[in-house]
Every structure is written in C-alpha cells, then in structure tokens.
C-alpha cells in the first residue's frame, strides 16, 4: 500500500499531512478551525493565519500526522526536531501510546525505523498501519 502524503504550502511554509498517522484527536481543527477544517476542500488553508500561529498549532498534533516540511524561515530548526536527550511516553485513554522524542522501532521483519518528534503507536491492535495508530481505536470503541 502506497503511503499518502499531502503538502499544503504558502510562502516559506509547507504543512505536511500524513493521513495514515492521524489519530483523529481533532486538536488541529479544534485549536485552529480557520486553517484546519475537514469540511473545506482543501481541508488545510494556510492563508487564514500567520506562519507562527500555524506552526504553534502543528506542534500540538499528538500523532505527528501534521508536521512542517523543511526549515522554517531559513532557520535550521523544524517542528519535527525535538530535544533528543529524553523520550516521553504518554498513554492516552482509549487511544494510542504517544511517544515524544527520539525513537528506534525494530519491526518483526528486522527493518529498523528511526523517528524523532511525536509518534503515535497502536495500543488497541486494530490499526491497519501497525505499529502506528490510524484512529481505528475509535471504531472498535477501545476504552483501556
């Protein structure tokens, strides 16, 4: 299955959306409905707020489905980069494990994946995108 990645750009800012990573927490459109509105097409409209406001909201994405592509304003720091000195794991009620920081995932087939930033790992077993959460916990009413 081909991974879908969508990019929404304005000036020096590109917001990347990876729907397979989305846990449907609704933080993006609850926090900034002028930019992130699933009823609009396209659902991401960067013209309605400043780069700084959009970047701050993207940082709130718990799954990492939303990120900023490349450097922001010629600064080498991007949203995906974080403090690599520690890793924090948060167990969400009825949802995924949210891992913030540097992470190495070794898959059953021996493939190794390196992640930095926010990663949402499936805890319910229903995800079609394991080991990542795809929001399937909502469909099966996972409540643990």
> Do 6-68 and 88-139 show the same overall fold?
no
Residue ranges per structural domain of the chain = 6-68, 88-139
End-to-end distance of the chain based on CA atoms, in angstroms?
29
β partners of residue 115: 103
Q: Which class would CATH give 6-68?
A: alpha beta
pLDDT at residue 76, as a whole number: 34
Within the chain, which residues score under 70 in pLDDT?
A: 1-2, 70-85
Report the C-alpha gap between 53 and 10 in whole angstroms: 13
Predicted pLDDT of residue 140: 93
Q: Each residue of 4-41: pLDDT tens digit?
A: 899 999 999 999 998 888 888 888 989 999 999 999 99
CATH C-level class of 88-139: alpha beta
């Amino acid at each position: 299955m081909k991974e879908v990645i969508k990019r929404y750009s304005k000036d020096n800012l590109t917001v990347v959306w990876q729907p397979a990573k989305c846990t449907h927490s609704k933080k993006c459109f609850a926090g900034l409905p002028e930019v992130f509105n699933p009823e609009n097409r396209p659902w991401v409209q960067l013209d309605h707020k400043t780069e700084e406001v959009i970047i701050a909201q993207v940082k709130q994405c718990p799954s990492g489905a939303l990120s900023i592509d490349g450097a922001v304003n010629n600064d080498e720091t991007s949203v995906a980069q974080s403090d690599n000195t520690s890793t924090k794991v948060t167990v969400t009620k009825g949802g995924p494990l949210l891992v913030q920081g540097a992470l190495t995932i070794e898959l059953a087939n021996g493939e190794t994946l390196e992640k930095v930033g926010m990663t949402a790992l499936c805890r319910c077993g229903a995800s079609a995108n394991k080991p990542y959460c795809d929001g399937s916990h909502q469909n099966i009413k996972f409540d643990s």
